[in-house]
Structure 1
């Protein structure tokens, strides 16, 4: 009897199935240090206990995307070990801060299936919840993945495509308890630009770039215990290249966005996301953002700003996303629509 895990294939999923993922992970200051070493991450709320306390929190939480990667990584052996590509995200909500010392685990429900016309692959939609040691949900999101079939003769399942929100409303967002930006220190944060300084439709070129290194993306992917074969095994792709984990590009772009959006401190929601084109080592990544919407919140001094964050190859023109055919331009790596919390 085989004792190893070959991973699930498309025909192994059933709509309504609930999957409890192994292995729980206790996060600590080490995750923060490695996250800040791997990316130029320097948002003040995640860098300083004193800054976070001045904003009404008990201490500095773990970076939102670091927590996301931990929760995501738990799901990979059951959802995307045999994936061709991670296609997109929706309805992502950050429900509670994750603190050093918290233990995170993940649970997913299969909410959609659709076999592709080639009969060799299909798309699986899952809704994943990350929980802490007190079984409190800290985040939830939907993602969909293209997965290989193992038995090409397996019958196609009934097609179920979930009806997902195109964007979260500000009332869907969870504001951390106690968050208060009325005494916000813009000097310590690094920029003077507040919520009222940004206009809907504004495009911000974040200027800086980072060249992807093989060792860094593999270290990051191992850190999040993401076991997807395409990120490690150079024989798994016909071109012999290791595919950069999409979350690595998300965190890199988010860190680059500090230059121009230093005060977009906390990610509160992921409206949608797409990994538009693959990324490989040696590529230089840059980023730009577009302001899509703004809203006030009930928290003192806290505004919500909806941003499109786009990661691109060096040389791409900021603000250019799609061609005349409506498809993503070949230089676009990531298109991420999210809500952030910012001082008014």
Structure 2
């Protein structure tokens, strides 16, 4: 029996299969600093213990996306080691905050399988739940990934595609402290829930160029060992001719860019859906714009929620495009991310 783990191929998955992923991860201050170095993230809550304590925390919580990546990365060895591409996300929620010193782990259930018509690959749909050391749920997500087949001559015809909720329901209890006084000089933004209007578009001016070293180091930070991100020799023999950037890193870059205009949206409540519309490679420059899809009142008096749609574009200023899709319904070639997500933001009346 071989001692070498070659990863799972499409045929190795079964509906209802449950996987407990190895390599739980204890989070350190180094992880936090390295994430900022790789993404340039500027959200103040995740940068300052002093500010976090003013906002009701014992210390700064982890950036929700850093926690997402560190926890999500546990699944790669079992789910997407032989992936062609990660295609999308749905129903992603962040039930409890995570702090430096916490240990995260992940469990997954296979909820769908669809063999592609070319017979060479298939799409695997999974539901993964992350926990901390106290068995508290810190991440709940569904995603789908295209995976190579082991036997391209054998056709199964399986087509079991799960359905997904369009948005995550807004729960009564949101696990963030009561917000009493927001220091706008510390957060860097003066706009609150009441200042945003449905249909408003924010053209974020900054662009971020991602070098091969950046996305390679980021993916290593998350212990994401998918071959498409690391094996340049292998990828030169594919139609892409180069390594594919981890889509999660593109999400982080888009979130970083969105800071300008959404500075006080410190918390991600959910990722409702996400599509990696086109591949991203080292050397690409990312720009982004955000649409305010919906303003959502909450029974708490101190916070509201904004449902956002952030569109990330490579090598083109985002204000140059009116819509991410062409008339035929397909994404424009430079659109790399279409992210529908909900953030929590304080209300103005909490500010003295």
TM-score higher than 0.5 here? Answer: yes
Distance change (3 Å), C-alpha of 1:316 and 1:209: closer
Instruction: Give how far 1:298 is off.
Output: 3.3
* Post-superposition CA distance 1:150-183 (Å, at most 9, x none): 0124441642111210112323x86224x22231
Instruction: Give how far 1:300 is off.
Output: 4.1
Q: How many residues align?
A: 342
Instruction: Give how far 1:2 is off.
Output: 1.2
* Post-superposition CA distance 1:193-246 (Å, at most 9, x none): 111111111110110011110111111000000000010101222243111110
CA contact (8 A) 2:288 2:318 kept: no
Distance change (3 Å), C-alpha of 1:124 and 1:5: same
The equivalent of 1:210 in structure 2 is 208
Alignment of 1:276-287 (within 5 A): 276-287=277-288
The equivalent of 1:249 in structure 2 is 250
Instruction: Give how far 1:47 is off.
Output: 0.9
Instruction: Give how far 1:282 is off.
Output: 1.1
Measured in 1, the distance between the counterparts of 2:74 and 2:4 equals 17
Instruction: Give how far 1:269 is off.
Output: 0.3
The equivalent of 1:183 in structure 2 is 181
CA contact (8 A) 2:114 2:159 kept: yes
* Runs (5+) with no aligned partner, structure 2: 348-352
Instruction: Give how far 1:314 is off.
Output: 3.2
The equivalent of 1:295 in structure 2 is 296
Cα RMSD (Å): 1.3
The equivalent of 1:330 in structure 2 is 333
The equivalent of 2:152 in structure 1 is 152
TM-score relative to the length of structure 1: 0.96
* Post-superposition CA distance 1:34-77 (Å, at most 9, x none): 01111111111111112112212221111100000011110001
The equivalent of 1:235 in structure 2 is 233
CA contact (8 A) 2:287 2:313 kept: yes
Alignment of 1:83-232 (within 5 A): 83-156=83-156, 158-171=158-171, 175-177=174-176, 179-232=177-230
Counterpart of 1:258 in 2: which secondary structure? coil
CA contact (8 A) 2:298 2:304 kept: yes
Measured in 1, the distance between the counterparts of 2:316 and 2:12 equals 43
The equivalent of 2:350 in structure 1 is none
CA contact (8 A) 1:174 1:268 kept: no
* Post-superposition CA distance 1:273-325 (Å, at most 9, x none): 01111011111111110101111223341111111111112324434210001
